[in-house]
Amino acid sequence: MRLIASLSMAFALAATSSVQAAQISGEYIEARTCDVYTGPCFANAEMDLAGKEAVMAWKVDEGGWNGVALEGLGVAIVVISEKTMGASEFFHMHAGKMASIILVDERATKAQHDALVAFAKHTAKEFTTDVKKIVKAPIKLENDHLSGKGTFSAGEVAKIETRGLKKGDCVCSNEAIFYQPLTKVSDISPAYSNTLSYTGKDFDRTWTTHGQRNAFLATFRR
């Protein structure tokens, strides 16, 4: 009995320490130019032809980074690559050269701006090795995990609008999460994007897609 009590206390202390260690948490949304919820045959047909563009966005609900409070602020990464980005259950794609821009909430102070950039680079290291530009923008992000509805915008530069997946979205009845999210997140739900767009001028391409099973809604905690 005494052993059980000791173990229970140890688990409780470990859980408390884990909660206290987390310095930042909030909402996450991501969309790419290839299906992430799909069947293997569809995914194989897109490899190295699609999925060379992606938008990842975070909104801080609690906490901060590097000692700077960031509640209510957002940051996003727009990334392009030579080949398809991502990793499935069975293999990791070799995306080749990548370039990115970081979109930072225009409401951020200088200290908050720097902290948001540092957080984005730390969280998505693989995708921020070649940052072409850091752009201030009016960032908005709202997720409704129950309905699958997510909305993200960085002014007119980048947008994601999703809805939940439904029966009619299945084509081969063998669909599953083929690609995992591009960064470490929790509470993952694949979603159908009504719109994914990037219309900025910092890359050699822009894109707008409609009607793909190419998005994730999630939460993050560091």
Within-domain flag for 17: no
Token pair for 176: 């599953």
Phi first, then psi: what are they for 199, rounded to 5°?
-125, 15
Distance in Å from the first CA to the final CA of the chain: 35
Within-domain flag for 98: yes
| Nearest in space to 104 (alpha carbons), one of 80, 127, 61, 73 | 73
HEC-encoded secondary structure of the chain: CHHHHHHHHHHHHHHHHHHHHCCEEEEEEEEECCCCEECHHHHHHHCCCCCCEEEEEEEEEEEEECCEECCCCEEEEEEEECCCCCECCCCECCCCCEEEEEEEECCCCHHHHHHHHHHHHHHCHHHCCCEEEEEEECEEEEEECCCCEEEEEECCCEEEEEECCCHHHCCCCCCEECCCCCCCCEEEEEEEEEEEEECCCCCCCCEEECCEEEEEEEEEEC
pLDDT tens across 54-98, in order?
999 999 999 999 999 999 999 999 999 999 998 876 667 789 999
Cα–Cα distance, 55 to 157 (Å, whole number): 11
Within-domain flag for 126: yes
* pTM score, whole prediction: 0.87
| Contact (Cβ atoms closer than 8 angstroms) between residue 93 and residue 110 | no
Within-domain flag for 190: yes
Within-domain flag for 215: yes
- For residue 22, the model assigns a pLDDT of 58
Within-domain flag for 9: no
Mean pLDDT of the chain: 87
Within-domain flag for 35: yes
Token pair for 131: 């940052």
- For residue 8, the model assigns a pLDDT of 43
Positive or negative, the CA dihedral 207, 30, 150, 170 is positive
Range picked from 8-17, 42-51, 193-202 for highest mean pLDDT: 193-202
Number of structural domains (the chain) is: 1
Phi first, then psi: what are they for 119, rounded to 5°?
-65, -45
pLDDT tens across 132-171, in order?
999 999 999 999 999 999 999 999 999 999 999 988 777 7
Over pLDDT 90: what percentage of the chain? Answer: 72
Print the domain residue range for 183: 25-221
| Contact (Cβ atoms closer than 8 angstroms) between residue 143 and residue 217 | yes
